[in-house]
Amino acid sequence: MSSAPDNAVRTFVAEEFPSLLADLSEWIRIPSVSADPERAADVARSAAWLVGKLTATGFPTAEVWTPPAVEGTPLPAVYAEWPSGDPDAPTVLIYGHHDVQPAAREDGWRTEPFEPAVRDGRLYGRGAADDKGQVLFHTLGVRAHLHATGRSAPAVNLKLLIEGEEESGSPNFAALVREHAARLACDTVIVSDTGMWAKDTPTVCTGMRGLAECQITLRGPAQDIHSGSFGGAVPNPATEAARLAAALHDEDRRVAIPGFYDGAVDLTDRERELLAQLPFDEERWLATAHSRAALGEAGYSTLERIWARPTAEVNGIGGGYQGPGGKTIIPAGAFLKLSFRLVAGQDAERVRKAVEEWVAGRLPAGIDHETTWTGTTRPCLTPLDEPALQALTRAMGRAFETDIRYTREGGSGPAADLQDVLGVPVLFLGISVPSDGWHAPDEKVELDLLAKGAETAALLWDELAGGAAEHTTGGAK
Amino acid sequence: MSSAPDNAVRTFVAEEFPSLLADLSEWIRIPSVSADPERAADVARSAAWLVGKLTATGFPTAEVWTPPAVEGTPLPAVYAEWPSGDPDAPTVLIYGHHDVQPAAREDGWRTEPFEPAVRDGRLYGRGAADDKGQVLFHTLGVRAHLHATGRSAPAVNLKLLIEGEEESGSPNFAALVREHAARLACDTVIVSDTGMWAKDTPTVCTGMRGLAECQITLRGPAQDIHSGSFGGAVPNPATEAARLAAALHDEDRRVAIPGFYDGAVDLTDRERELLAQLPFDEERWLATAHSRAALGEAGYSTLERIWARPTAEVNGIGGGYQGPGGKTIIPAGAFLKLSFRLVAGQDAERVRKAVEEWVAGRLPAGIDHETTWTGTTRPCLTPLDEPALQALTRAMGRAFETDIRYTREGGSGPAADLQDVLGVPVLFLGISVPSDGWHAPDEKVELDLLAKGAETAALLWDELAGGAAEHTTGGAK
């Protein structure tokens, strides 16, 4: 069933897998927690470790990059490059991160989070899946690629950018990418920081939602005033904040801000059909959402709502008395913290403007407002007919020896910065599964999926090089 | 123009005024701050001082009452009684309080708050107007009444109940009144703890709004969940809290809870006409409300809205992320703190039920809720044709030598407990003006208004005794 190179890749990965496991275990022992300033030296140690590993793998260039200080003290990223030697070879940039979430045994870990342990075919430890394991399978992947093809350099110009601040919100990542845009130039970005649907349902993610976040601050009376003396006769900012939040959605739970959906790319019939084929169990999904009922935009399924539809959510609301019991006041102010998830075709700037106009038009005299935005992430989406996506699907299909289905991500990530700055499509090659426990105790990676990741990478460079002639850039823009 | 008794009262009050001023100054020096547990001994000293003063005034009975301990450590009230001797005499119960708000020089007082000072015809000091001055003018009032009529006992059976916990929310007052209901039995309650429209516009307050307060707690996901992974597909309790708060009012800012207005007594044409005659300056009123615009129920003026219409206000709202910046979550819960001001005819129990049914009917599956109520105060309202109110209006008109107009109070107070437990109408005899600075630095009382209070009281007992035959109880119920 499998072709000769597939078998060669599979055999090499199986034989060399213990060395990947040993490397990953060593790397996990470095607690590169980016959120903890006291771990800054460990993040630096992790970057240096990775430079050493990439050099040992054969990358002729591997260096530490310190991002420009947009926010806080920047933590080091790692950049590596391995030219193909073939002048027609496409260029691929792999994205991942080497920093990890905080973890402590007392959070509920069975074993020490920074002391990796293998149990039942899984490697447990902080960063096993998010994202050290998924960065590291590329080292075995490129070695398998060379071994199976007999090449001395990859079939593509291979670049890696592994950042050290992803778990802290990538505050300096866009600036880093802009600063090094010339060296990062590529035809395709491969993000290895996502997951698949399930162990027996390998999938490729085709897009992530964008994000625009704001705080709307309302001010009414110059100070809290007595609700007996003045109640019913002056505007109440808490009421007005609530009226804004309530007006975000219509009765069909569609976002009711005029212009919000402008340009939004809707699902194609083919995409809806493919999503509907995923073995989705709503009860199980609700359990992962810690929720008891589904609710969302009329006319769309739950998966469509979280992956492919723009949304507006109230992340925080506050105003007036917050203590126990009651206090009969009309509060001086109130606030709303809103986040909007965006899909391809929506323009974040246009959404901001639409929100601001909508807010301004809904407030009565006597209520002042201020809308401040805290960061924007653009959506990214790769059409199903994008040749690079088809190459990835073929490589994954060869590695997993089964049909590959498609998913999307509801969240938002720095991948969009790469898409934006570099102007190329972003693909997602991830082998993590929902049970891997990202950001939770007992994070793990499935060892056989880690091997499948290496196999996919090994096969992908040929697929991309072979399909390079058909490649069109900017398919996701 | 004035009759002989009016002149006799006026002359006596003028001659004896220095002793009232001396007494009030002495009383203000006792810092009877009920909110401060370290001042409990001062509150007790204040009660003892008042018992001594009432005894010296001639009251045959004057005693300290300790309220039943419903909440906290009860602070003493003072009760006094002076029977008329006339078997047909009506019985009047005067209500006031001898505790005061906290005060410190550094809050912005020109002189020490508990060291009374006379400047420009005003006595400055904590409690000068709220409420020691307004309690104490009754001692001069009854003396003037006896002097002008030549009686040895008042024309009415005079009772006083002066509580010591009003500034702490009167937590034990209803229980105190219930415990002593038999001794407190009367035909009319006179509350001397309110104010008038303005120095040149003497008014009688005819009612106070009632109050029902609740907290509505909503629970959605079992924990905060990621708004990227789940946003747009499960109910958000912050959104639902906002939708509830927004639905409290319709576009005419009328309370939209079905059944809320059931039984509410609307203003009569005569009442609206009288209110409209008050020299109301909306700009100045807005300044006292620290607000920049008026907003309320369509079809009613500002004064009607705050005095005579039931309202719903959001006193507090909260849910989700409250810190700086943003956090992309769907919060696990949210809450609303609401207060409803009630007018005569509304039943607090029925309002509670209407609110609870309304809440339950508006929430989607997946959102749990709990509504807890924190105290209820009934509204009170005396119709303009109530004989006791007419007697008060005549007495005040004789004292002030001008027409008396009518106001109401938007707030709610323990007066309603007296109305409820004793089943009699409550009248308001107050001579404080808005500039007196209740609860604020430089609280003061206008000395000439203090004298007018004493004159009104002196004339009122005759008016009430003369009108006793026409008196009907329970007019405000």
Instruction: Give the 3-state DSSP-derived string for chain B, with helices as H, strands as E and coil as C.
Output: CCCHHHHHHHHHHHHHHHHHHHHHHHHHCCCCECCCHHHHHHHHHHHHHHHHHHHHHCCCEEEEECCCCCCCCCCCEEEEEECCCCCCCCEEEEEEECCECCCCHHHCCCCCCCCCEEECCEEECCCCCCCHHHHHHHHHHHHHHHHHHCCCCCCCEEEEEEECCHHHCCCCHHHHHHHCHHHHCCCEEEECCCECCECCECEEEEEECEEEEEEEEEECCCCCEEHHHHCCCCCCHHHHHHHHHHHCECCCCCECCCCCCCCCCCCCHHHHHHHHHCCCCHHHHHHHCCCCCCCCCCCCCHHHHHHCCCEEEEEEEEEECCCCCCCCEECCEEEEEEEEEECCCCCHHHHHHHHHHHHHHHCCCCCEEEEEEEEEECCEECCCCCHHHHHHHHHHHHHHCCCCEEEEECCCCCHHHHHHHHCCCEEECCCECHHHCCCCCCCEEEHHHHHHHHHHHHHHHHHHHHCHHHCCCCCCC
What is the pLDDT at residue A4?
Answer: 73
Segment A97-124 mean pLDDT: 95
What topology is assigned to A4-207+379-470 in CATH? Answer: Aminopeptidase (3.40.630)
- Work out the minimum CA distance from B218 to partner chain A, whole angstroms: 13
Confidence of residue B468 (pLDDT cuts 50, 70, 90): very low
Q: The CATH number of B4-208+379-470 is which of 3.40.50.300, 3.10.620.30, 3.40.50.970, 3.40.630.10?
A: 3.40.630.10
What per-residue confidence (pLDDT) applies to A153?
97
pLDDT band at B343 (very low <50, low <70, confident <90, very high): very high
Q: Contact at 8 Å (CB) between A451 and A122?
A: no
Give A-chain residues touching B282 at CB under 8 angstroms: none
Cβ within 8 Å, pair B232-A341: yes
B72-124 tens-digit pLDDT: 899 999 999 999 999 999 999 999 999 999 999 998 999 999 999 999 999 99
Q: What is the rounded distance in angstroms from the CA atom of residue A90 to the CA atom of residue A92? A: 7
Q: Which residues between 200 and 239 in chain A have a beta carbon less than 8 angstroms from any beta carbon of chain B?
A: 209, 211, 213-215, 220-223, 225-236, 238-239
Contacts of B379 (CB under 8 A, 6+ apart): B207, B208, B209, B210, B342, B343, B344, B346, B412, B416
Contacts of A337 in chain B (CB under 8 A): 320-321, 326-327
ipTM above 0.90? Answer: no
Contact yes or no for A428/A194 (Cβ under 8 A) = yes
Q: What is the pLDDT of residue A71?
A: 87
Confidence bin at A326 (pLDDT 50/70/90): confident
For residue B286, the chain A residues in CB contact (below 8 A) are: 234
Instruction: Give the chain B residue whose CA is nearest to the CA of A309.
Output: B232
List CB contacts (< 8 A) between B296 and chain A: 232-234
CATH for A210-264+310-377, among 3.20.20.140, 3.30.70.360, 2.60.120.620, 3.40.50.300? 3.30.70.360
Mutation pick from A211, A315, A378, A432 vs chain B, by most beta carbons of B within 10 Å, is A315
Cβ within 8 Å, pair B221-A290: yes
Touching B: A residues 250-289, CB under 8 Å: 286, 289
Question: CA-to-CA distance for B298 and B256, rounded, in angstroms?
Answer: 13
Q: What residues of chain B lie within 8 A of the CB of A228, using their CB? A: 209, 211, 341, 409-412
Q: Do B229 and A314 touch (CB under 8 A)?
A: no
Distance CA A465, CA B83 (A): 110
- What is the distance in angstroms between the Cα of B90 and the nearest Cα belonging to chain A? 33
Distance CA B125, CA A367 (A): 36
Contacts of B334 in chain A (CB under 8 A): 317
With CB atoms and an 8 Å threshold, state whether B229 touches A410: yes
Averaged confidence pLDDT in chain B: 93
| Residues B182, B164: Cα–Cα separation, whole Å | 21
Amino acid, single-letter form, for residue B169: G
Question: Exposed, middle or buried: residue B38 (CB in 10 Å: 0-12, 13-18, 19+)?
Answer: exposed
CB contact under 8 A, A294 and B234: yes
Residue among B213, B289, B321 minimizing CB distance to A234: B289
Of B221, B223, B293, the CB nearest to A365: B293
Kindly report whether the peptide bond that precedes residue A262 is cis, defined as omega within 30 degrees of 0: no
Helix (H, G, I), strand (E, B) or coil at A176: helix
Tell me the angle at which helices B40-57 and B4-28 cross, rounded to the nearest 10 degrees.
150
Please give the C-alpha separations between residue B100 and each of A228, A329, B32, B250, in angstroms, as whole numbers. Answer: 20, 20, 6, 40
Tokens standing for A205? 């993610």
Q: Locate B98 and state its tokens.
A: 């001898």
Q: Report pLDDT for B332.
A: 95
CB-nearest partner of B229 from A221, A292, A411: A411
Interatomic CA distance for residues B231 and B225, integer angstroms: 9
Token pair listed for A203: 């999938």
Q: Shortest Cα distance from B81 to chain A (angstroms)?
A: 33
Under 8 Å between Cβ of B258 and B275: no
Q: A328 Cβ partners below 8 Å, 6+ apart?
A: A226, A227, A228, A231, B211, B213, B313, B315, B339, B411
What integer best gives the mean pLDDT of chain A? 93
Which chain B residues are closer than 8 Å to A289 by Cβ? 221, 225, 229-230, 233-234
In the structure encoding, which two tokens stand for residue B244, read together? 């509830």
User: Closest to A315 (Cβ–Cβ): which among B213, B233, B329?
Assistant: B329
Flag if B318 and A317 touch (Cβ within 8 Å): yes
Domain B210-264+310-376 in this protein, CATH class: alpha beta
| Closest residue, chain B, to A222 (C-alpha) | B290
Alpha carbon dihedral A415, A420, A426, A431, in 10-degree steps, equals 0
Say if residue B138's pLDDT is above 80.
yes
A461, A392 contact by CB (below 8 A): no
Contacts of A453 (CB under 8 A, 6+ apart): A133, A134, A137, A138, A141, A192, A429, A430, A431
Q: Which chain B residues are Cβ-neighbours of A232 within 8 angstroms?
A: 296-297, 305-306, 309-311, 313, 341, 410
Show me where the domains of chain B are located. Answer: 4-208+379-470, 210-264+310-376
Distance from CA of B414 to the nearest CA of A (A): 14
- Measure in Å the smallest separation between the Cα of B25 and chain A Cα atoms: 29
Neighbouring residues of B161: CB distance < 8 A, sequence distance ≥ 6: B77, B78, B79, B93, B94, B95, B177, B184, B418
pLDDT at A1: 45
Question: Which among B13, B26, B27 has a CA at the least distance from the CA of B132?
Answer: B27
Q: Report, as an integer, the average pLDDT of B386-415.
A: 93
User: Is it the case that residue B295 has pLDDT exceeding 50?
Assistant: yes
* Whether B429 contacts B460, CB under 8 Å: yes
Cα gap A128→A144, rounded to integer Å? 21
Q: Mark yes or no for CB contact B238/A315 under 8 Å.
A: yes
Number of other residues whose CB lies within 10 A of the CB of residue B402: 11
The residues in A 427-466 lying below 8 A from B, measured between CB atoms, are none
Query: Where residue B374 falls among pLDDT bands split at 50, 70, 90?
Result: confident
DSSP state of A397: H
Distance between CA atoms of residues A93 and A108, nearest Å: 36
How much of chain A, in percent, has pLDDT values that exceed 70?
97
Scanning B314-333 for CB atoms below 8 A from A yields 314-322, 325-332
pLDDT over 90 (residue A336): yes
**pLDDT category of residue A468 using cuts at 50, 70 and 90:** very low
Chain-centre distance for alpha carbon B295: 24
Of B209, B234, B327, the CB nearest to A315: B327
Q: Which residues of A touch B72 (CB under 8 A)?
A: none
Helix then strand count (H, E) for chain A reads: 14, 18
Contact (Cβ atoms closer than 8 angstroms) between residue B209 and residue B410: yes
Task: Quote the CA–CA distance of A130 and A166 in Å, as a whole number.
Answer: 10
| The one-letter amino acid at A388 | A
What residues are paired with B370 via a beta bridge? B217
Residue A2: pLDDT band with limits 50, 70, 90: low
Instruction: Give pLDDT, residue B2.
Output: 55
Length of chain B: 477
- Among candidates B227, B296, B305 on the partner chain, residue whose Cβ is nearest the Cβ of A313: B227
pLDDT digits (tens, 9 = 90+) for B188-234: 999 999 999 999 999 999 999 999 999 999 999 999 998 988 999 99
Give the mean pLDDT of B239-260.
98
Q: Does A210-264+310-377 match A4-207+379-470 at the fold level?
A: no
- Give the minimum alpha-carbon distance from B352 to chain A in angstroms, rounded to a whole number: 15
Residue B191: the pLDDT is: 96
Whether residues A220 and B328 touch (CB distance < 8 A) is answered with no
Pull the structure tokens for residue B285.
């009123």
End-to-end CA distance of chain A: 38
Is residue A476 over pLDDT 60?
no
**CB < 8 Å from A in window 296-315 of B:** 296-297, 302, 305-306, 309-311, 313-315
Q: What is the mean pLDDT of residues A150-175?
A: 94
Q: At CA B171, angle to CA B166 and CA B172, rounded to 5?
A: 100
Identify the pLDDT of residue A325: 85
Phi-psi region of B40 (alpha: psi -120 to 50; beta: other; left: phi over 0): alpha
CB contact under 8 A, B242 and A246: yes
Measured CA to CA, the distance from residue B201 to residue B207 in angstroms comes to 18
Angstroms from A475 CA to nearest CA on chain B: 24
CA dihedral B11, B14, B19, B21 (to 10 degrees): 150
Check if the beta carbon of residue A460 is closer than 8 Å to that of residue A399: no
> How many angstroms away from the CA of B170 is the closest CA of chain A?
15
Cα B409 to chain centroid distance, Å, stands at 7
A64 close to B (CB below 8 A):
no
- Residue listed under structure tokens 């909306």: B282
Q: Tell me whether B105 touches chain A (CB under 8 Å).
A: no
Q: Does the beta-carbon distance from A294 to B229 stay under 8 Å?
A: no
Chain A contacts of B327, Cβ < 8 Å? 315-316, 337
Here the tokens at position A415 are 């991948």
Backbone φ and ψ for A461, nearest 5 degrees, come out as -65, -35
Q: How many CB pairs under 8 A join A and B?
A: 285
Angle B45-B47-B49 (CA atoms, 0-180°, nearest 5)?
A: 70
Does residue A388 contact residue A188 with C-beta atoms inside 8 Å?
yes
- Of B145, B154, B34, which Cα lies nearest the Cα of B98? B34
Which residues in chain A have Cβ-Cβ distances shorter than 8 Å to B297? 232
**Chain B interface includes A246 (CB < 8 A):** yes
Q: Which residues contact B87 (CB under 8 A, 6 or more apart)?
A: none
pLDDT in tens, B89-103: 999 999 999 999 999
- What does DSSP assign to residue A456? H
pLDDT of residue B473: 34
Angle of the B40-57 helix axis to the B132-149 helix axis, nearest 10: 10
A442 half-sphere exposure, CB direction, 13 A CA radius: 7
Nearest CA in chain A to B238: A314
A window 361-420, beta carbon within 8 A of B: 364-367, 374-375, 409-412
* Residues composing chain A: 477
| Residues of A whose CB is below 8 A from B223 | 290
Tell me the per-residue pLDDT of B1-42, one tens digit each, with 9 for 90 and over. 457 789 999 999 999 999 999 999 999 999 999 989 999 999
Does the pLDDT at position A470 exceed 50?
no
Whether cis (ω within 30° of 0) applies to the bond prior to B120 is no
Query: What is the end-to-end Cα distance of chain B in Å, rounded?
Result: 38
The whole-number pLDDT of residue B419 equals 87
pLDDT of residue A469: 33
For residue A159, name the pLDDT band (cuts at 50, 70, 90): very high
